[in-house]
Chains A and B, each alone.
Chain A
Amino acid sequence: MTERPLSPHWQVYKFKYTLTTSFLNRITGVVLSLGLIVLAYWLMAVASGGRAYTQALAVLSMLIFKLLYAALLVSFCYHLVAGIRHLIWDTGRYMERAQSKRSAAIVSVVSVLLMAVCLYFAFFAGAHAP
């Protein structure tokens, strides 16, 4: 069962908007999965009492985690908007070439705006990414 003929790989396709949006949805999904590990760690820390929580918060406040929170927010905004686009596609609507090109543009603009809002509230509006 080895070395059977393969269908064309993604590498052979031109890097276009449809491929880009689909691929980004995947990457952001994987990033968000990593976020679940941090979420579970944080929840366990909360449940472990005040002292353990303070120690965990020191870990979660390290620069690398702050970068991760920024990546998570950016990923979440994109995955949310692109995911809604997929759900609309699943109803069989807006699948024509021109329409999907247009929705790709809408997804980009809306998700970038959403990212700006989220990052502002998380890091600047008197806030507290730990």
Chain B
Amino acid sequence: MSLRSPLGRVLGLGSAKEGVHHWWVQRLTSVALVPLAVWFLVSLLSLPALDHTTVIVWMAQSGTSLLLILFVLIATWHSQLGLRVVVEDYVHGGAKTVVLVLVTFAHALIAVAGVFAILKVAFGGSP
């Protein structure tokens, strides 16, 4: 056990240089999501129907696949950053760590499942 005070240990070390990282990525993803989310909603609502064939034809177009992958990745990233703050604000103690881990895992799963599904359709894997 060190006899140095907690204050003494950190004085003079400078910042960790990542103070604004969370804030900045949250902004970056939100700027990207403005056009992407609007595109997704408008495209989805403009589909003539939501049967399998219509959806596959739409989703397999290169432009759609690309934008959909971007949308899924950036939306899950933004969501993860946002939910992290909510959990940090309202969940305390040991439960906080557990919930944060679960939230992060869930977002990773959603992102990977989404991208996998889009690529499978794009490469003609789901007739």
Contact = CB atoms under 8 A, between A and B. Distances in A.
Contact of A46 (B75, B76, B109, B121): B121
Interface string B23-45: 00001001100100110010001
Q: How large is the interface on A (under 10, 10 to 19, 20 to 34, 35 or more residues)?
A: 20 to 34
Contacts of A130: 50
Given A30-B86, A46-B59, A76-B41, A36 B34 contact: no
A122 B43 CA distance: 12
Contacts of A30: 82-83, 86
A66 B37 CA distance: 19
Contacts of B49: 128
Given A122-B45, A128-B50, A80 B38 contact: yes
A36 B75 contact: yes
Contact of B83 (A33, A44, A47): A33
B82 A33 contact: yes
Contacts of B37: 76, 80
A83 B41 CA distance: 17
Interface residues of B, number: 38
Nearest to B85: A26
Contacts of A90: 27
Contacts of B38: 80
A106 to B, nearest CB: 17
A29 B34 contact: no
Interface string B81-120: 0110010000000000000000000110110011011101
Contacts of A122: 45
Q: Which of A47, A53, A76, A121 has the most CB of B within 10 A?
A: A47
A50 B79 CA distance: 30
25 contacts: A26-B86, A29-B79, A32-B79, A36-B75, A36-B107, A36-B110, A37-B106, A39-B75, A39-B110, A40-B113, A43-B114, A43-B117, A46-B52, A46-B55, A46-B117, A47-B120, A49-B52, A73-B41, A76-B41, A80-B38, A83-B30, A90-B27, A118-B45, A127-B45, A128-B47
Interface of B: 27, 30-31, 34, 37-38, 41, 45, 47, 49-50, 52-53, 55-56, 59, 68, 72, 75-76, 79, 82-83, 86, 106-107, 109-110, 113-114, 116-118, 120-121, 125-127
